[in-house]
Structure 1
Amino acid sequence: MKYAFLLALLLGGISASAATTAACATCHAAQARTHGATGMANALEDVRTCDILKSHPKLVFQEGSYHYEITRDGNASQYQVSDGKQTLRVPIGWAFGLGSAGQTYVFQINGRYFESRVSYYKALNGLDLTVGAQSTVPSNLEEAAGHALDKEAARACFNCHATHASVDRKLDLSAMVPGVQCERCHGSAQAHLAGFRNGQPHVGAMRQLSKMSTDETSEFCGQCHRTWSQVATNGPHGINNIRFQPYRLTNSKCYDVDDARIRCTACHDPHREVVAEPASYDAKCQACHAAVKAGAKKCPVSASNCAGCHMPRLELLGSHNLFTDHQIRIVKKNEPYPN
């Protein structure tokens, strides 16, 4: 019965990519049940169904001489910037980010993708400059609208916020599924599903993150969250790299490429939303620090709220959000941010 349902999905009227995601859920129901509500699964939203845009029919923001408006019109949203003399108005193409912290918009001008200069922030329930835009001064209306993305930057953005967004290393949204779905992390499921159709369910084994080493996991997650080598070579430096968890984690004294207890997936289940309460991670820390062991000291202060002390939450300028610093350390009062 299960195999018949898989076949029906694959031969039905929905796209092959969407059908594959639905087909995965028939066997991996537990993962599918929680994954759909995560920030990763909703890292890219269709404007037609975007809750933030639907619930905010008009958003306004003023920055210097530039006036910004995002307005809702049916199932579409329009992005507008005016300098008092001229107005540029374009339809929003995609909403990047679920909005648990913020949401940035992407649109096209003359066939080129732009990142909106203003973003929605949950803490404000409104608009402010997109992170990074504070250091720029627009010289014309197009620059005031947003940051123009070259082809590689546009491809990278969609690749990290969606599934099947490129073909032969070129941006191609024809088969794209919004959000980080099964095949974005586990690879193509076609051979795996073909095995099911042919009564050979073990054919076409897919990528298993649980089988990766600590270093492999950091490199894999770092494709989108930035690897150590990427940040060390190209920046950013200072607190601007607090968003790049694999880089920060690798800088931790306790990071060990041979110890699976310090890899990304030891604390975070990609199929579930990130747990925000620091105390919930105590058991993970105590797996190493409960007793005196080689290379791991027992904390003399407390056996609880480890992350609250050793992984401080810091605000990135203009983000209106606190980011957890993944460089695990003994934090000293008034110390400079360790890069």
Structure 2
Amino acid sequence: METQRSAAARLTCTDREWHAEVGPFLFHWRPAWLLVMLMLFPGCFDSGQSGDEASSSNAKPQSNRPSDSPSPAEIWQRFIAANFAGDQACADCHRKEFEAHQRSGHSHTAIRMEESPLAERLAQAGSYQDSRRQQNWSFQLDQGKFLVKDENHPTMPALTVTWLLGSGTHAQTAIAVEERRRQGVELRWSWLANRNGLGLTPDHEPYDVYNRNSIECFGRPMNTADVLACLGCHMTVGPPPGAPLRTDFFVPNVGCERCHGPRQKHVELAKQGRGNEIKPLINYRDAEEYIAACATCHRDASDLTGQEQPHELVRFQPFGLKKSACYLKSDGQLSCANCHDPHDATSHDRELYKKQCQSCHRESQSRICPVQPQGDCIECHMPAVEWTAGIRFHDHWIRKPEK
């Protein structure tokens, strides 16, 4: 089996090769998640130079692309424009689903940091103190960039923050991405909804002790795989293999086309009354395939390392659901969509979920709960668990409560 490293080496190509080999592959793309998979294989934009070599004035261009042919960046942007219609284009025919999606967290999972309301608030506040490190950061909006500076280390250059990720339902975390090196840093502070303010970014406790003369002074260093995994779950689509991680190469948020696939051709035909000629790219044969689509970001057993603590499993909801007797005995029928509208915001109406439980556990059958027949099913059988910093999730493992 080809390793990821050898695959990356094979995919490394010149501009002309990218056009000839990768371009046709993209246009034969079928399931929506394959475009996201492109983000996980570096290569096709690589010049064979390191970041330092590429920035050197003595470095020679490696491309043999004719001067009058489009650059890989132009090819990619043309591909996006020709194939992706955008969420608003769906609204004309699918108004109900569009409006539901606008209410959901999926519709606002990523925003350029300098364009976010949080950037304005932090710039006005001016600074933030990390009490765990006794460290002070200052914030500034300057010429369209959001800058953060470590005031404890004046010689450390200010960092330009690129993206603010997360819907804000629980938290929003900032990351800085160095587009050419394809590396980055996850900032140590995040906006936490339960505090209505900044706090420690989840899982940053190991960086209480850090290298003061490195990027660790800002937070958790991210290699290419880290950056792509992080951005990949907050975007509709990202750049092709090996491309610089330029912000204009991403389509932000988990939009309609993340699941339904590129819809530009569908939109064009729909205006002619022929929209049914190109169906949305969703054809789940059973609940397991449906769950697998959600697990791309919400994680399942394949994402476990075996070192997770029990409270950490709340971030692996598909894993929990598939361990539930309700799923195992559903004959392949129980999926995320039984309880959650995939287009809309998560409902907090417990009566709605209770009705879903009672659709199988009917009062006329022996399967009705003998403890609290009219009680709150979720509170007993799938209670919320604190993950970190007061943030609580349901692990979706439906089970009998521990005595």
The two structures have a TM-score, normalised by structure 2, of 0.70
Deviation track 1:37-86 (CA, whole Å, cap 9, x = no partner) reads 32111111122432233344325122324222344457543222233554
Residue aligned with 1:69, SS: strand
Tell me which residue corresponds to 2:7: none
- How far residue 324 of structure 1 moved from its aligned partner, in angstroms, is 1.5
Kindly state the Cα deviation for residue 103 of structure 1 after the two structures are TM-superposed: 0.8
* Aligned residue in 2 for 1:10: none
Once the two structures are superposed, residues 140-164 of structure 1 have per-residue CA deviations (whole angstroms, 9 ceiling, x without a partner) of: 2411212222222212221210112
Describe the shift of the 1:97–1:87 C-alpha distance in structure 2 as closer, same or farther (beyond 3 A): same
Does the C-alpha gap of structure 1 residues 203 and 221 become closer, same or farther in structure 2, counting only changes over 3 Å? same
User: Aligned-pair distance for 1:248?
Assistant: 1.3
- Aligned equivalent of 1:80, options 149, 152, 159: 149
Aligned residue in 1 for 2:119: 53
Shift, 1:138, TM fit: 1.1
Is 1:117 matched up with 2:117?
no
Partner of 2:91: 25
For 2:401, the equivalent position in structure 1 comes to: 331
**Residues 213-235 of structure 1: CA deviation (Å, up to 9, x unaligned):** 2111111100111122322x555
The CA distance in 1 between the partners of 2:223 and 2:232, in whole Å, is: 14
Q: Against the structure 1 CA distance between its residues 121 and 72, is the aligned structure 2 distance closer, same or farther, given a 3 Å change threshold?
A: farther
Q: Which amino acid aligns with 1:332?
A: E
Q: Does 2:210 correspond to 1:144?
A: no
Q: Tell me which residue corresponds to 1:188.
A: 262
**CA distance, structure 2, for counterparts of residue 307 and residue 169 of structure 1:** 45
1:158 corresponds to which of 231, 243, 248: 231
Q: Paired residue for 1:337? A: none
Match of 1:106 in 2: 175
The equivalent residue for 1:224 is 297
Aligned Cα RMSD in Å?
Answer: 2.8
Please show how residues 121-270 of structure 1 align to structure 2 within 5 Å: 121-136=192-207, 137-140=209-212, 141-168=214-241, 173-196=247-270, 199-208=273-282, 211-231=284-304, 233=305, 236-256=308-328, 258-259=330-331, 262-270=334-342
The amino acid of 1:176's aligned partner reads F
Conserved? CA contact 2:237–2:250, under 8 Å: yes
Higher strand share: 1
Supply the distance in 2 between the matched residues of 1:221 and 1:213 (Cα, whole angstroms): 13
Distance 1:198 1:173, change over 3 A: farther
Deviation at 1:165, TM superposition (A): 1.1
2:185 aligned partner, one-letter code: F
Conserved in 2, the CA contact under 8 Å of 1:165 and 1:172?
no
For 2:191 and 2:139, the matched residues in 1 are separated by 10
Q: Percent identity?
A: 27
> How far off is 1:258 after superposition?
4.9
Structure 2 Cα separation of the partners of residues 224 and 270 of structure 1:
14
- Give, in whole Å, the separation in 2 of the partners of 1:300 and 1:60: 49
For structure 2, the residue ranges without an aligned partner over 5 or more in a row are: 1-79
* Structure-2 separation of matches of 1:290 and 1:257: 16
SS across alignment from 1:229? helix
**Residue of structure 1 in register with 2:9 after alignment:** none
Go from structure 1 to structure 2 and tell me whether the alpha carbon gap of 1:18 and 1:220 turns closer, same or farther (over 3 Å shift).
closer
Structure 1: any 5+ residue segments left out of the alignment? Answer: 1-13, 334-339
Residue equivalent to 1:11: none
The answer as to 2:353 corresponding to 1:276 is no
Structure with bigger gyration radius = 2
Is the contact between residue 267 and residue 281 of structure 1 (CA under 8 Å) also seen in structure 2?
A: yes
| Alpha carbons of structure 1 residues 306 and 164: separation in structure 2 relative to 1, 3 Å | same
The change in CA–CA distance for 1:20 and 1:108 in structure 2 (over 3 A counts) is closer
Distance 1:104 1:16, change over 3 A: farther
Amino acid at match of 2:220: H
CA gap 1:309/1:75 in 2 versus in 1, 3 angstroms: farther
Residue correspondences, number: 316
Indicate how the Cα distance of structure 1 residues 249 and 167 shifts in structure 2: closer, same or farther if over 3 A, else same: same
Secondary structure (helix, strand or coil) at the match of 1:329 reads coil
Matched-pair contact (CA < 8 Å) for 2:83–2:263? no
